[in-house]
């Protein structure tokens, strides 16, 4: 009799544990799914609200209030598809990792990174894919302070294939008037001009993107990241 009771007790315990584990798994799955971008969440974003999401993300970053993320859980949650709400053209600079400075997770934003955040046909093609094919609502050109590519262009540096890349920044140097790569304020001024130049090129060289900008289905904004404070300033602000 005692043995029977004991066995029933064990079975009950096992069932209780299973049910609890199942409930926990179910709750976790639901929570993680809600945390990644979906077709529905992407469709609900507008160009203006995409800017707000990035501004709020950067504010969380500088205020040490970043969202806690279960990074590995986002891998299976995004494996079936991606619905990033924004596309960011940024410099390759190791001090400006876009997901971190905007407090975004896996599957949230497209990142196109190249020295000096310059535009070329491959960058434009990537942006056309991001907006027209995948439905990203916002294009951001993100320059930054103390940019080595900008400094190199100011100095008219020559080095192998880098020479051609730096030449793409020269119009921004010319537009900024005379100055020195040792003058931080001047380097930032050229970086801003370079962002404006890239925005102009995107509109002029991609009819696909221009049509979406004109229709208002996609937005285009410029911004500068300050490597000394962590703050992103949108140029229209
Ligand atoms: Zn840079």
pLDDT of residue 135: 97
Span 40-96, pLDDT tens digits: 889 889 999 999 999 999 999 999 999 999 999 999 999 999 999 999 999 999 999
CA–centroid distance, 191 to ligand 1, in Å, is 9
The span from the CA of 103 to the CA of 53, in Å, is 10
Q: How far is the CA of 81 from the centre of ligand 1 (A)?
A: 31
CATH number for the domain whose boundaries are 38-234: 3.40.1050.10
For residue 13, how far is its CA from the centre of ligand 1 (angstroms)? 60
Reply yes or no on whether the pLDDT at 30 is more than 90.
Answer: no
pLDDT, position 237: 62
Share of the chain above pLDDT 70, in %: 85
DSSP codes joined into one string, 109-175: EEEEE-GGG---HHHHHHHHIIIIIT---EEEEEEETT-HHHHHHHTT---TTHHHHHHTTHHHHHH
What pLDDT sits at residue 236? 76
pLDDT of the residue at 7: 45
DSSP 8-state symbol, 90 = E
Would you state the pLDDT for residue 222?
98
The pLDDT of 111-133, averaged and rounded, is 98
Q: What values do phi and psi take at 111, rounded to 5?
A: -120, 125
| pLDDT, average across residues 200-228 | 98
Q: How far is the CA of 113 from the centre of ligand 1 (A)?
A: 10
Q: How far is the CA of 159 from the centre of ligand 1 (A)?
A: 16
Amino acid 26: pLDDT: 36
Look at residue 186 in the predicted model and tell me its pLDDT.
98
Expressed in angstroms and rounded, the spacing between residue 117 Cα and the centre of ligand 1 is: 7
pLDDT at position 117: 98
Look at strands 138-144 and 232-234 and give their pairing. Answer: unpaired
Gap between the terminal Cα atoms of the chain? 79
Nearest to 89 by CA among 156, 150, 140, 20: 140
Q: Quick check: 11 pLDDT over 50?
A: no
**Which pLDDT score, from 0 to 100, does residue 29 have?**
41
- Domain residue ranges in the chain: 1-35, 38-234
């Amino acid at each position: 009799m005692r043995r029977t009771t004991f066995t029933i007790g064990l079975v009950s315990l096992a069932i209780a544990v299973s049910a609890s584990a199942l409930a926990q798994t179910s709750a976790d799955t639901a929570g993680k799914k809600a945390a990644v971008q979906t077709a529905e969440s992407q469709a609900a974003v507008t160009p203006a609200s995409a800017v707000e999401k990035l501004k709020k993300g950067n504010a969380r970053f500088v205020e040490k209030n970043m969202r806690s993320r279960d990074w590995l859980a986002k891998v299976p949650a995004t494996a079936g598809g991606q619905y990033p709400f924004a596309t960011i053209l940024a410099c390759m600079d190791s001090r400006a990792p876009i997901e971190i400075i905007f407090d975004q997770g896996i599957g949230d934003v497209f990142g196109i990174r190249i020295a000096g955040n310059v535009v070329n046909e491959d960058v434009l093609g990537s942006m056309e894919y991001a907006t027209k094919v995948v439905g990203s609502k916002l294009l951001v050109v993100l320059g930054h302070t103390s940019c080595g590519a900008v400094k190199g262009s100011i100095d008219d540096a020559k080095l192998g294939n880098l020479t051609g890349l730096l030449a793409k920044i020269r119009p921004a140097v010319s537009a900024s008037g005379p100055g020195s790569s040792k003058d931080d304020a001047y380097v930032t001024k050229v970086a801003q001009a370079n962002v404006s130049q890239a925005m102009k090129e995107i509109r002029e060289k991609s009819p696909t993107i221009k049509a979406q900008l004109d229709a208002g289905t996609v937005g285009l904004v410029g911004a500068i990241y300050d490597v000394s404070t962590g703050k992103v300033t949108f140029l229209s602000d």
